[in-house]
Structure 1
């Protein structure tokens, strides 16, 4: 699993040549921030590559590796992009990633207050920051982690009750009330490989790669990464060897595509958060979207 400081960013560009650095400056390329800085002879300022100040002429620009080098050259820090200050988006992303790791690894559910305190923010600010970057609330992320655990435990634990409590549910009743949303079938059917259950499936595209979505008449039973139809179906068949797998009709496929499109992680998070965390968020939102009632078609006005 990727570490919290591992970002889903383009790491193929090193910004080592002046030509590449000049292009990054012209593009206000945020990916270049931290790789280098630039100073402008006519203004005496040094800035980040993403600074939105009007670009200087190429002959007036000097590229620098560090802010210390810029200050040693007699340049002053730009007040707009504040190149000496930590990037707040990156700091927020690190805090969110750490909170997600805590939820991933904690045996007991963590409260919003505990997560916010650990991150060093107020409950309100942390909640807003978390949703801005991930597209889900901390509670929804925790619910997604717990649901993933119970699906894993049902396949390996000695009994259904053992699986429920090992996954962090406080009571059987609480789990059974949520089980159609989590499993798409009864716990016994899920545990037994879906005997007699009909599962329809389809694949939709996302920014994180193809996603295979499978559902029964009770709810979503699987949301899986799918590099192509075949590997996704192979995984699905391994989970439910006794079920009847069938391709979803056009209506199901259309709805899944629309839900996956709405479930895309927000742009700031896609740039800064690890891919595995974004995948959890995407799959959680897909399940939420498909669990909601299908919007009723608008009636045509009478002629």
Structure 2
């Protein structure tokens, strides 16, 4: 009797299959898979995802049969044999899309569940691809909405609520870090504000970094570095824009170099890579550059 035949007999009923799942028995991999009705995910028996309730588990001879019933393969254990790094990148992109589009996105537990990971594993996975946490990406998305809304909304309060802030105190406390100036000044095109800026290079193309005495007010990226100052002027049409001196430019260049994305980010679309890089630059530049008055 072959080992394959023996294993097939060992896992030929739901009781022994369930025991293999409880034991996370790697010897059962390839002989069957299981799906969880509450998550819609199909897993290998050895998958280390949190154990589901028995009444929510269904068994299938192959991942293909589970997929035919509407279950998607787990991103962690890849029961269908798909490339794990590609699957992980797709999961990160999917979550970024959810965070970009939802005004009130689900929590990390729900986001991780949607893409077939545990909360802890997905948090680590997301950071390994983007260099930032899901929470930081969400905060950056909300900050982008604030900046856009301040230019379009009738009032500052309209911009605040349309961007997902539900508290004026929270909004005004976050404003200096998000805007580098008061919301009123930002909405007025930087009226009365001195802004220093410089353009430097990064692995994702030219980057313009602009600061005020309150912090970073702009991180712009594109394919043509010479066009970025004009974009800055469009946003801050009433500000006094001052090109960087040598010390400022050198400090920004060093900060951008420190903020470079992790190698795995190459698996992600350029838009997401640039968004994550901008977050890291905003965190790095204020500690590396102290704008003079």
What does residue 43 of structure 2 align with? none
Classify the secondary structure of the residue corresponding to 2:181.
coil
Aligned residue for 2:134? Answer: 138
Instruction: Name the structure 1 match of 2:278.
Output: 283
> Matched residue pairs, number?
212
Distance in 2 between the 1:128 and 1:190 partners?
35
Please report the TM-score for the alignment, with normalisation by the length of structure 2: 0.69
SS at match of 1:151: helix
Alpha carbons 1:211, 1:226 under 8 Å: kept: yes
Instruction: Structure 2 unaligned segments of length 5 or more: list them.
Output: 1-79
Bigger helix share = 2
Aligned pair partner of 1:180 in 176, 183, 187: 176
8 A Cα contact 1:109 1:168, kept in partner = no
Query: Which deviates the most, 282-291 or 178-187?
Result: 282-291
Structure 1-normalised TM-score?
Answer: 0.67
Structure number with the bigger relative contact order (C-alpha 8 A, sep ≥ 6) is: 1
Gaps of 5+ in 1: 1-83, 296-303
Match of 1:103 in 2: 99
Which residue of structure 1 aligns with residue 158 of structure 2? 162
Alpha carbons 1:181, 1:220 under 8 Å: kept:
yes
Instruction: Give 1:20's aligned residue.
Output: none
Deviation at 1:229, TM superposition (A): 4.1
Native 8 Å contact 2:252 2:288 kept in 1: no
Matched, 1:274 2:269: yes
1:241 aligns with 2:250: no
Per-residue displacement from partner, 1:15-65 (whole Å, max 9, x unpaired)? xxxxxxxxxxxxxxxxxxxxxxxxxxxxxxxxxxxxxxxxxxxxxxxxxxx
Question: Residues of 1 paired with 2:115 and 2:166: CA distance?
Answer: 26
Moved over 6 A (4+): none
Could you say what the CA RMSD is over the residues aligned between the two structures, in angstroms?
Answer: 1.7
Alpha-carbon deviation of 1:288? Answer: 1.2
